[in-house]
Structures are given as structure tokens and as C-alpha cells.
Amino acid sequence: QQQVKQSPQSLIVQKGGISIINCAYENTAFDYFPWYQQFPGKGPALLIAIRPDVSEKKEGRFTISFNKSAKQFSLHIMDSQPGDSATYFCAASPHPYKYIFGTGTRLKVLA
């Protein structure tokens, strides 16, 4: 299966809270899992990425948790800020060049 299922579709979080976005995949051949952040009027920009040989990767307030046996991965945004309000896409790569994207999560952080 080539799908990547992303949830929730939208998320509202208070400033300072934790935002959590989940993704699930079925194809065990996927070997690269990037997250992209997209602001209105802009293209997606790489936020953070992980390979399946590690269970967690942290960059500042952003953390990817990866569960290989469950075929799930998630993005955690700690201390969420209004400037984090954007659409987030997870992706998985079954091929050196190709990505399969999730359907996106629209995050709104309330001031």
C-alpha cells in the first residue's frame, strides 16, 4: 500500500501547549519520513525528518517519534507558538526520489 494516513485534519492548541500530529503507513519499504511546514501563500518547507533506524529525533521544539513495529510516526511541537500556525504534512519515501504525502493538518495556535 502506498498511502500515508495523517490525523487530525485540523488542530487548535493554546499558546504554550503541545501540538501532536500523527501519521501511519503500511509499506515497510518506506525508509525516509520528512515533515513539511507550509504557511499561506508559500510552498512547503522541510521542518524535520527521520529514518527508521532511530525512534526519535529532536530539533528545538520539534520532535519526531517513530514506531517502526506499529508503522506510525508523529510530530510533537512543544511550547507551541502563534507563529507555528501553519499546515503540516508528513511524508514517506518508498523510492530514492519520490515522496508519498499525508493529507495535511491545519494547526492554529491561539495567543
Partner 1 sequence: DVKVTQSSRYLVKRTGEKVFLECVQDMDHENMFWYRQDPGLGLRLIYFSYDVKMKEKGDIPEGYSVSREKKERFSLILESASTNQTSMYLCASSLGKEPQHFGDGTRLSIL
Which residues in this chain contact partner 1 in the complex, by CB under 8 A?
2, 6, 9, 32, 34, 36, 41-46, 49, 89, 96-99, 101-104
**Which one-letter DSSP state was computed for residue 70?**
T
Closer of 17 and 94 to partner 1 (Cβ) = 94
Structure-derived torsion over alpha carbons of residues 43, 64, 104, 93, reported in degrees to the nearest 10: 80
Rounded distance between C-alpha atoms, residue 106 and residue 19, angstroms: 11
Instruction: Name the minimum Å distance from CB 71 to partner 1.
Output: 18
Instruction: Name the minimum Å distance from CB 109 to partner 1.
Output: 20
Closer of 15 and 95 to partner 1 (Cβ) = 95
Instruction: Name the minimum Å distance from CB 70 to partner 1.
Output: 21
Rounded distance between C-alpha atoms, residue 82 and residue 28, angstroms: 36
Closer of 20 and 100 to partner 1 (Cβ) = 100
| Intra-chain end-to-end CA distance of the chain, in Å | 40
